[in-house]
Amino acid sequence: MTAARARPPADRLGIGPFVLLGATLVLLAGQAPSGLAPALVVVGVGLALSAAWRRVGRSAARGGEVVPVAVVLAYLLVVAPPNVVTEVLAGLGGVALLLWLGAGPDGAAGRWSRALDLLVVPLAALAIALGTTFILPSLPTSIGLATILLVAVMIGVAILLVRLSAGARAEAPSS
Amino acid sequence: MKDAARAFAEEATQAPRSPDLARPTLRSWLCYGVAGGLLVLAVAARTPVPLFAAVPLLIAPLAALLLAPSGRTPVALGWTEAGENTTVSISGAVTVPTTLDPRDLDLEIDIPAGLTQSAPLTLRTEGPSVSFSLSLRARDPVLALLALPRVRWRDALGLVQRPLPVEGSPLPIERCPLEANRLGTLRLDRTIVLPGETRSRALGDNGDFYGVRLMMPGDSPRRINWAATARSQNVYTNEFCLERTGDVLLLLDTRPTELGAAVDARLLGIARAAGLAIADGFLHERARVGLAVFGEFLVPTPLGGGRRQRYRIREALLGAQVAKVGGPSARAAFTARRFFPPGITTVVLSSLADESTRQLVLHLRRRGYPSIVLSPSPIASLEFAPSVPADEQTLARRLAALIRRHHVAQVWAEAPVVDWQDYWSLAGFSSFLKRGVRNRRLA
């Protein structure tokens, strides 16, 4: 027995998120101390590898396309000097990577543009982290990040509670 | 009542189902993985910058889980099947609750054995529903039940997914061999009241108009002849004449053979379609038809006529699967005597892949069931890998044909066998049946 699977037509490359991710990486490359040209080469290679992997990759290797671009992003973030611009670009890079992952071949075309409801929470978390780091200059960066970890734990606990209550409802005998 | 009891027993024996909860997808774990890597890197390089990139990757899957639909959100399915001969076109629509976006649904349909996909499954969003269409091709005659599709909701970024319960009914697909309707013109042995080859006649609720008589208790008001009643001032009812040509028993052998599960399933699908076609042909001519499905045990559908009997036979055939363990042949013949009168024409549908069918026919004959074996040939459905050279394929086919001929010859000693090669035609079986009846008459 075989199975036919269908979903709304997919956008294999995810052009919009891909452009956003590329632009963020290029801006981060501009912050690299080693100079723009070598960083741009690294960015170009990473983006090309990821795009090619996504386009021609087999289903068994699904998810692997994130590796080159994530490595490039991590490299640029590590070598970038810690300042307001790089930290904002880092947050933007995370969001762009998330959107590009969401626009993969097993997702529907245009879904990522409808993801605003979902993006509100991570963007708010990012805003809290950046706000507590920069608007309150007397506090160190770790305070902002600790706030975010606290938010993440709270969301995790909320999800746990919701799932437990849903499970209890499903197991309750119906009269 | 019996069906309700059976459903209750099945439900009671099933394991409790886990609630359909939203679960993270591979993409969520990728996000966590990348975020974790960035956290480790930040600690190792003593720089806070990667942590800001990790924040959205860490939070988004959690937010997706939080925003996933909760509670029972069933989707309503309506679907139909169209097409002729080998083409099967399936179209339908899934209507979702207003709380869900139909663009976030994925659909998966299991294609039963005997059908192949000729065009991809396509989806189209129309308002609160998703309409879909699927084109299949029936390479062989097939009688199958298309199970309810699996519908899955995924969030906009594909971070979380959740199966949705589907409300609807499975879709039966019938593609039966041709020439089945001509089978009914055969006059079978009458086995109801008296032996012999005379046609029986029964008066009852169905058939052709026969006459009128005074109404008696138990008669249906629908049979009242109002014109005769008005003329005579007495209540008269119509009588109908039902001519039967005899009784037929279809015995479907679902025991596993050495051909393997895939070939067994395919041949059983063909045999099911043939069974329904033969039943159709005889029921059309008002004969009584019974069905016995023999796997480990014999599951009978007692003799009957009319559209209801067709429905019963179709349901029984749809439920017939290749048995995990084959029962002894004597059991089939022994059990058949409890449900079917001896002497009725018996059509055994079997692949004749091994010795067990010969034993089955032998025991049936000893118990008083004159049998005719209709055997879908497995040679016609032989498939080879593309890497096998053509000459080796030819050799394998010749060897398979020799083995097949040997098996057919063995069974011929007990009962006539129709070696069914062209699955889309029952002409060979039909003409054989006519010839066989005529020969018996001459004898």
pLDDT digits (tens, 9 = 90+) for B382-404: 777 788 888 888 888 888 889 88
- Cα B243 from Cα B284, distance rounded (Å): 11
Alpha-carbon distance B425 to nearest alpha carbon in chain A (angstroms): 25
Nearest residue to B397 via CA among B425, B429, B421: B421
Q: Nearest-CA residue of chain B relative to A17?
A: B157
Identify the residue with better confidence: B154 or A5. Answer: B154
pLDDT of the residue at B193: 44
Main-chain dihedrals φ then ψ at residue A8, nearest 5 degrees = -55, 150
**Distances from the Cα of A18 to the Cαs of A21, A38, A50, A121, in angstroms?**
5, 21, 10, 22
Residues B144 and B266: beta-carbon distance below 8 Å:
no
Give the H/E segment covering residue A135.
Answer: none
pLDDT of the residue at B162: 87
* DSSP-derived 3-state class of residue B250: strand
pLDDT of the residue at B15: 43
Q: What percent of chain A has pLDDT over 70?
A: 63
Nearest residue to B332 via CA among B230, B434, B249: B249
Residue B223 has pLDDT above 50, yes or no: yes
Burial class of B272 by CB neighbour count within 10 A (0 to 12, 13 to 18, 19+)? buried
Main-chain dihedrals φ then ψ at residue B42, nearest 5 degrees = -65, -40
How confident is the model over B186-222, as pLDDT tens digits?
656 544 444 444 455 556 666 678 788 899 888 888 8
Task: Look up residue B224 and give its DSSP letter.
Answer: B
Dihedral (CA of B134, B135, B139, B140) sign:
positive
Q: Which of B26, B101, B108 sits opposite A63 (nearest CB)?
A: B26
List the single best residue of A62, A98, A99 to mutate versus B (max B Cβ within 10 A).
Answer: A98
* DSSP-derived 3-state class of residue B168: coil
Q: What is the mean pLDDT of residues B401-408?
A: 88
- Cα B428 from Cα B374, distance rounded (Å): 10
Long-range contacts of A111-116 (CB under 8 A, 24+ apart): A111/A8, A111/B103, A111/B104, A111/B156, A111/B157, A111/B158, A112/A14, A112/A16, A112/A17, A112/B156, A112/B157, A113/A16, A114/B101, A114/B103, A114/B156, A115/B155, A115/B156, A115/B157
pLDDT of the residue at B312: 94
Nearest residue to B431 via CA among B401, B351, B304, B422: B422
DSSP-derived pairing of the beta strands B105-111 and B371-376: unpaired
User: Hey, is the C-beta of B100 within 8 angstroms of any chain A C-beta?
Assistant: no
- Cα B332 from Cα B38, distance rounded (Å): 68
- Cα B65 from Cα B62, distance rounded (Å): 5
pLDDT of the residue at A32: 85
Residue B168 has pLDDT above 70, yes or no: yes
Residues B364 and B371: beta-carbon distance below 8 Å:
yes
pLDDT of the residue at B378: 85
Encoding tokens for residue B141?
């005659």
Q: What percent of chain B has pLDDT over 90?
A: 14
Note the pTM of the prediction, 2 decimals.
Answer: 0.66
Inter-axis angle of helices A66-79 and A15-30, to 10 degrees?
30
Main-chain dihedrals φ then ψ at residue A141, nearest 5 degrees = -60, -35
Give contacts of B 36-65 with A, CB under 8 A: 37-38, 41, 45, 47-60, 62-65
User: Hey, is the C-beta of A115 within 8 angstroms of any chain B C-beta?
Assistant: yes
Residue A137 has pLDDT above 70, yes or no: no
Confidence of residue A92 (pLDDT cuts 50, 70, 90): very high
Residues B109 and B149: beta-carbon distance below 8 Å:
yes
How confident is the model over A113-135, as pLDDT tens digits?
667 778 888 888 888 888 777 77
Q: Nearest-CA residue of chain B relative to A85?
A: B49
How confident is the model over B328-386, as pLDDT tens digits?
989 998 899 999 988 888 899 988 888 888 889 899 988 888 888 898 888 877 777 78
Nearest residue to B33 via CA among A74, A48, A99, A120: A74
pLDDT of the residue at B235: 93
- Cα A170 from Cα B68, distance rounded (Å): 16
- Cα B287 from Cα B353, distance rounded (Å): 31
Render B251-301 in DSSP notation, one character per residue.
EEE----TT-HHHHHHHHHHHHHHHHHHHHHHHHTT-EEEEEEESSSEEEE
Q: Do B66 and A155 touch (CB under 8 A)?
A: yes
pLDDT of the residue at A44: 93
Residue B407 has pLDDT above 70, yes or no: yes
Residue B429 has pLDDT above 70, yes or no: yes
pLDDT of the residue at A48: 92
Give contacts of B 102-121 with A, CB under 8 A: 103-113, 117, 120-121
Task: Give me the residue label for tokens 């909760």.
Answer: B70
Identify the residue with better confidence: B218 or A94. Answer: A94
Question: End-to-end CA distance of chain A, in Å?
Answer: 38
Encoding tokens for residue A144?
């902002």
List the single best residue of B157, B161, B173, B322 to mutate versus A (max A Cβ within 10 A).
Answer: B157
- Cα B219 from Cα B204, distance rounded (Å): 10
How confident is the model over B85-144, as pLDDT tens digits?
888 999 999 988 888 888 888 888 888 877 888 888 888 888 888 888 989 988 888 888
Encoding tokens for residue B294?
């023999």
Confidence of residue B184 (pLDDT cuts 50, 70, 90): low
pLDDT of the residue at B231: 92
Q: What mean pLDDT, rounded, does chain A reach?
A: 76
Residue B52's Cβ-side half-sphere holds a number of Cα atoms within 13 Å equal to: 30
pLDDT of the residue at B299: 93
Identify the residue with better confidence: B200 or A62. Answer: A62
- Cα B151 from Cα B129, distance rounded (Å): 12
Nearest residue to B425 via CA among B272, B267, B277: B277
- Cα A100 from Cα A89, distance rounded (Å): 16
pLDDT of the residue at B244: 58
Burial class of B440 by CB neighbour count within 10 A (0 to 12, 13 to 18, 19+)? exposed
Q: What is the mean pLDDT of residues A69-79?
A: 92
pLDDT of the residue at B239: 83
Q: What is the mean pLDDT of residues B235-250?
A: 79
Q: What percent of chain B has pLDDT over 70?
A: 85
Alpha-carbon distance A119 to nearest alpha carbon in chain B (angstroms): 7
Q: What mean pLDDT, rounded, does chain B reach?
A: 82
Q: Name chain A contacts of B108, Cβ cutoff 8 Å.
A: 3-6
Inter-axis angle of helices B390-412 and B356-366, to 10 degrees?
20
- The top-scoring range by mean pLDDT among A138-147, B5-14, B224-233 is B224-233
Q: Do A3 and B70 touch (CB under 8 A)?
A: no
How confident is the model over B266-324, as pLDDT tens digits?
889 899 999 999 998 888 777 789 999 999 999 999 988 888 899 999 999 998 988 98
